[in-house]
Amino acid sequence: MWKLVGLLCVGFLSVYSSPQRGAKYETASQSRQLREELAQNLYFVLSARNLESHDANHGVADPYVRVHFGSVPQYSQKQGKDLDKVGDSETIVNEANPQWVKVFKVQYIKGLNQKIWVEVRDHDPINPDDVVGEAFIDLDENIPALDEFGGLSDPFVKCYFRYGKEGKDFKFFETPTIDNSDSATWENPITFDNFRRGTDQIFHFVVKDADSITADDVIGEAFMEVEPFADKKQQSVLPLSSSSNATLYVKYILE
């Protein structure tokens, strides 16, 4: 039997080898669909103050913003060159303190080193547009924390398995929600009866914070190879990839 223990969650899993049984699962979802589930839609507008024009006649700027977004590789030296263009705002003529009405949207997943690169440009109908200024926004550092009004998390775990790192996810269990906890424990066993040796099975655990008003927040996720863990029958510590201080513990318990 397997046990999930830790800062955020504790539970039990048991593994049975049953090669004659067909796989049983609640919902099959593609990795892309699961990624969409982890994402939070962020909407924002932009403004600027005291812009200087780069025009030769030193007139007031005709500013607009160009927004880029994406995950920056850890050792990248390209800065915004790694990011995808989201779009441009409208141009506001002769305005040093613009407030653009264009609403931008990005899909944020915590822990992926996602950044927004904003370029403020001065529109020029004749020459190439000048870049008046720019800003980089690290979303992991600027998005408000879960339960920002001071409450504890209400965690639950969605349990998936897949064949291979890029395989399709099969949901086989979802734990109950534990209210107001930073160290939740699930005492009831979770049975996983689709264990197959030699098939490169991987567990995918998604830990979420239940919210009765807005969409559930993602606390983090973790992956674990099934067969090596079943062979060792030892505890594993799985840091949650989208959180800096949350850990999922998995312990194998013989029945």
Which residue matches tokens 């005709």? 62
Nearest in space to 106 (alpha carbons), one of 149, 133, 148, 143? 143
Of the chain, the end-to-end C-alpha distance in Å amounts to 6
141 or 32, higher pLDDT: 141
The beta strand positions in the chain, using DSSP E, are 2-5, 11-17, 27-29, 40-44, 63-71, 84-88, 104-108, 114-122, 130-138, 155-163, 169-174, 189-195, 201-209, 217-225, 236-239, 247-252
**Per-residue pLDDT tens for 169-200?**
999 899 899 888 777 777 777 778 888 899 99
**Per-residue pLDDT tens for 28-52?**
444 556 556 667 778 788 888 888 7
Which residue matches tokens 């008046």? 132
Domain 28-138 CATH class label: mainly beta
Are 4-17+150-252 and 28-138 equal in CATH topology?
Answer: yes
Domain boundary assignment for the chain: 4-17+150-252, 28-138
Q: Tell me the CATH number for domain 4-17+150-252.
A: 2.60.40.150
Report the amino acid identity of residue 108.
Y
In whole angstroms, give the CA distance from residue 53 to residue 111. 37
